[in-house]
Amino acid sequence: TLAGGDPADLADAMAIAINTTTAITSGTYVATPGPGPNPTYVDVVYTHGGTDGTVQSLVFDITIEDDNVVEGSEDYRITLSNPGSTTGASVLLDTATPATEVITRIEDNDFSLTTLTTVSTPAETTEGGAGTNLKFTFTDLNDPGNPISHDEQVTVNFQLLGSNGVILTPGDYTIAPVSPAGLNPNSPPGNIVPGGELWRLLVPAGATEAEVVVTASADLLVEGTETLTVNIVSVSNASGQYSFSPDQTQRDPAPVTVDLLDANEAQWSIVSNETSNVTEDGTNNVATYTVSLSGMMQANENASVTLTVDFPSTGPSMSAAELADAMGIAISSVNPTATGTYSIGTVTPTTVELIYDHGGTDSLVEDLEFEITIFDDGLVEGPEDYRITLSDPASTTGLVVAPGLDPDLSIDPTNASVVTTIVDDDSTTWTLTDNNTGQQVGEGDSALYALALSGAAVQAGRTATIDLAWGLTSPTSSSDFAETLDAAVLDAIDNPTTGYNVGKTAGDPDTFEYNSTTGTVTYHGDGTTTAPTLNIDLNTFEDTGATQTVSGDVHPANYVEPDEDFTVAISNPGGTALPGVLAVANTITTTIIDDDSAEVTIVKEQDGSENPPGLGTTDGVFKVLLSNPSQTSVKVDFVDDPTGGSQTAKPAFDYNSLASTVVTFGPGQQEKFITINTKEDPLVEGPETVEVELIGFNAAPDPQITIGAMNSATLEIE
């Protein structure tokens, strides 16, 4: 009879061993296993040979197989019973000595190493998504590449610990067995040990590996990535039926980690609470902002964001540092909130780090509302825009912000920045002043004008502009000037002797600049000067002994002209400081007083002659002279044979009566001729004289034109 181990296998082994024994000469031993598939005994029959004699003992061997199964020390027992004979022989059991039972111990040579690994890389599971598997593997301690099993159920105790300072609860995850293993929490269920949770994995006999699946539980909390650290605490047989030696079931203490990825996201956002622009004048000078952090925040989480100040429009006149300071002060003054605390971290000249530490309760985050008060700075700067932009979300408690990963903390792209416009209430006014005495200027002198701004100072980085133009009233032309208005303005800017631009380059703060293409004067503010003035000297042309031609228009020397008018006007105020740049619409008329004069005189050009009959006559000619050219026509009246004169020739008899008694000088003409048409007569007579006298002007000429002392002349007719 067999007991211990596997009796059926032992019965088969024993029967084979007995039946194959050939060393017996006294008779024959035949062994037959008991009935059924799992016999527990073997019938042994001895048949003696044909000669009386002593029965030889039966010696047989049972070979123990190396089964690669951890099973501990195993005992099996062989017991003799039921002696008998079919031939009447008396067969008894030996009772004198304990020779009817023998116990054999099989010492197990197998040792297992239990190792924990992750099935997938990276080992992570997202809330509400698929889980990740952990594998427990049994291998031969002496041959690590060789799987090994146990002959009974094995218990693997393992622990799940939170890392990164996060204490995890079973509500953060679930764990379930994957066939063939069974999984149950340690008794009592869900027992929490310091630092984590202990679980018991039941591995059935014969298995070389077992798996469990860890799944992150879905929730509404923004908590970041939570890491489970899993390690094997102990491995043992469940029943204790066999006596394992202490080192037969060893464990690899190396832990594995599983990341529980948060499926929830908190977003920073900023909005302005103003429905209209803020102003400097005190009626609406407080800009209010709300910074929000969305999502259900886990207790004691931390989040931060950077608020950056910049200016979206060109030529900012505000100070980013002052705005950053104002933000920091405003935020600090509204803490704490009902759900946590906002505080200020690092501050630079353009940025403020906003830090939020959530309280000890899972909850939504209360918004942060802060105010920035706008001051009236007394500067002309136009509408000013400043922008507050959120960037660089961060966390010290593990909220994910890394690019490329599903973030737990981010910035709402639709409310990542806010622009506020400050409406300026200050102004400055352009004026143009005539600095000429009586609005007149002598020919060859400079026409003087002052172009100025008055009122509040123009902010540094801002500009005020005005269009400047001149008009020429006929007969005034560009040849009446030694330079153009453009040249005069540029000269005042580029070559100043006093006032603004001295020692500076046009475009610097507190300087004027001029665009001759558009006729626009630009003043660049410096934030302090309240009355910048550009003094313009426009030089007129001095024609005494000089001639010039401008654009085809000839201005002769000593040109007698009437007083001429021209205008200088300002219009269209503008610049980057609008709408605070104004102008008093102004057109100044200036008169150029001519300093030239001319005299009209008459001289004999040639005498006349009757000549002998049949030879024709020679006309007499007078020349009328204008000493200087005139811009306007000059008409001079004259008479022949003046009263009281010395003329001896008879009009209409000695010469033809004059068809006209007016000499007309066109503009610029200086010589005219009066012809005396001599007539033939049969009389013998001596030389006769013809006298012509200039008696006045047919139409009022330029008052600077007069009839000179040589107002009469005489010629002879031979």
pTM above 0.85, yes or no: no
Question: According to the per-residue pLDDT averaged within each range, which of 230-244, 277-291, 402-416, 419-433 is highest?
Answer: 419-433
- Tell me the pLDDT tens digit for each residue of 181-190: 666 655 433 3
pLDDT value at position 633?
A: 94
Question: Residue 365 and residue 340: Cα distance in Å, rounded?
Answer: 7
Alpha-carbon dihedral 705, 706, 708, 714, rounded to 10 degrees: 100
Amino acid identity for residue 716 in this structure: E
Q: Give the helix/strand (H/E) hosting 30.
A: strand 27-33
CA atoms within 13 A on the CB side of 336: 9
Residue 265 reports pLDDT greater than 80: yes
pLDDT at 627: 95
The SS3 assignment for 338 reads coil
- The domain ranges of the chain are 2-106, 112-261, 267-423, 428-593, 598-717
| pLDDT tens-place string over residues 585-594 | 889 999 999 9
Q: What is the mean pLDDT of the chain?
A: 86
pLDDT of 362 higher than 80:
yes
Q: What pLDDT is attached to residue 335?
A: 66
pLDDT score, position 434? 94
Phi, psi of 3 (to 5 degrees): -145, 145
Q: In this structure, which topology does domain 598-717 adopt according to CATH? A: Immunoglobulin-like (2.60.40)
Q: Looking at 33-42, 327-336, 377-386, 602-611, which range is the least confident one? A: 327-336
Enumerate residues 6+ apart whose C-beta is below 8 A from 463. Answer: 315, 522, 523, 524, 525, 575, 576, 577
At position 298, the amino acid (one-letter code) is Q
- Say yes or no to pLDDT of 192 above 60: no
pLDDT tens-digit map of 617-627: 899 999 999 99
**Going by CATH, does the domain composed of 112-261 fall within 3.30.460.20?**
no
Confidence of residue 197 (pLDDT cuts 50, 70, 90): low
Task: Strands of 252-301 (E only): list them.
Answer: 256-261, 266-272, 278-279, 286-293, 296-297
Q: What are phi and psi of 299, to 5 degrees?
A: -55, 140
CATH (residue range 267-423):
2.60.40.2030
User: Does the fold of domain 598-717 match that of domain 428-593?
Assistant: yes
Written as one letter, the residue type at 413 is: P
With 70 as the cut, is the pLDDT of residue 196 above it? no
List, as own/partner pairs, every contact residues 505-509 make where C-beta atoms lie below 8 angstroms and the sequence separation is at least 24, other chains included: 509/460
How does pLDDT run across 647-695, given as a tens digit for each residue?
Answer: 999 999 999 999 999 999 999 999 999 999 998 877 778 899 999 999 9
> How much of the chain, in percent, has pLDDT values that exceed 70?
92
pLDDT of residue 236 exceeding 70: yes
Determine the pLDDT at residue 63.
84
Q: Report in angstroms the alpha-carbon separations of 232 from 35, 204, 300, 685, 703.
A: 46, 17, 30, 163, 125
> How confident is the model at residue 190, as a pLDDT?
37
pLDDT of 397 over the 90 cut: no
Q: What is the CATH number of domain 428-593?
A: 2.60.40.2030
pLDDT at 566: 95
- Note every long-range contact of 163-171, with CB atoms under 8 Å and residues 24 or more positions apart, other chains counting: 163/227, 163/228, 163/229, 163/257, 164/226, 164/227, 164/398, 165/397, 165/398, 166/223, 166/226, 166/227, 166/397, 166/398, 168/196, 168/197, 168/226, 168/228, 168/260, 170/197, 171/217, 171/219
